[in-house]
Chain A
Amino acid sequence: MENAIAVTGLVVDRGRRRVLHGIDCAVPAGSVTGLLGPSGSGKTTLIRAIVGVQIVRAGTVTVLGKPAGSAALRHAVGYVTQAPSIYADLSVRENARYFASLYGLSATHADAAIADVGLASAQGQLVGNLSGGQRSRASLACALIGTPRLLVLDEPTVGQDPVLRADLWAKFHALAASGTTLLVSSHVMDEAGRCDRLLLIREGRLVGDDTPAAIRALAGTDDLEEAFLHLIRNQDEAVPA
Chain B
Amino acid sequence: MSLRITLHTTARILRQLRHDRRTVALLIVVPALLLALLYFMYDGSGGTFDRIALIMLGIFPFVIMFLVTSIAMLRERTTGTLERLLTTPLGKLDLLFGYGLAFGLAAAVQGAVATAAAYWLLGLETTGHAGLVVLIAVINAVLGVALGLLCSAFARTEFQAVQFLPVVVVPQVLLCGLFVSRAQMAGWLEAISNVLPLTYAVDALVEVGRHSEATTAMWRDLVIVAGAAVVALVLAAATLRRRTP
Q: Do A and B bind each other?
A: yes
Complex CA distance for A84 and B81, rounded to whole angstroms: 9
Q: How far is the CB of B14 from chain A (nearest CB, A)?
A: 11
A235 to chain B, nearest CB (A): 27
Q: Is the CB of A94 within 8 A of B12?
A: yes
Of A54, A81, A88, A99, which one neighbours B244 at CB under 8 angstroms? A54
Whether B15 lies near A94 (C-beta < 8 A) is yes
A51 at interface (Cβ–Cβ under 8 A)? yes
State which of B15, B88, B245 has its C-beta within 8 Å of the C-beta of A102. Answer: B88
Q: Distance (Å) between the CB of B245 and the closest chain A CB?
A: 5
Q: State whether A90 and B5 are in contact (beta carbons under 8 Å apart), knowing that A53-B242, A99-B88 are contacts in the complex.
A: no
Contacts of A171 in B (CB 8 A): none
A-B interface pairs (CB < 8 A), number = 72
| Interface presence of B86 (CB below 8 A) | yes
CB-CB under 8 A from B11, the residues of chain A are: 98
The docked-state distance in angstroms from the alpha carbon of A230 to that of B9 is 50
How many A residues touch the partner, as a band?
Answer: 20 to 34
Kindly name the residue among B19, B20, B244 whose own CB sees the greatest number of chain A CB atoms within 10 A.
B19
Instruction: Give complex CA distance A154, B15 in Å.
Output: 28
How many residues of B are counted as interface, with CB atoms below 8 angstroms from the partner's CB atoms? 25
Q: Are B16 and A90 in contact (CB under 8 A)?
A: yes
CB distance from A153 to the nearest CB of B (A): 12
B83 at the interface (CB under 8 A from A): yes
Judge whether A101 and B5 touch: CB under 8 Å. Answer: yes
**Cβ < 8 Å to B, chain A residues 77-131:** 77, 79, 81, 83-90, 94, 98-99, 101-104, 126
Chain A nearest CB from B41 CB (Å) reads 36
Further contacts, 17 of them, CB under 8 A, given A55-B244, A79-B87: A14-B245, A51-B87, A53-B87, A53-B242, A55-B245, A74-B87, A77-B87, A79-B84, A81-B83, A85-B80, A86-B81, A87-B79, A87-B81, A89-B20, A90-B12, A90-B19, A102-B85
Name A residues whose Cβ lies closer than 8 Å to a Cβ of B.
13-15, 51-55, 69, 74-75, 77, 79, 81, 83-90, 94, 98-99, 101-104, 126
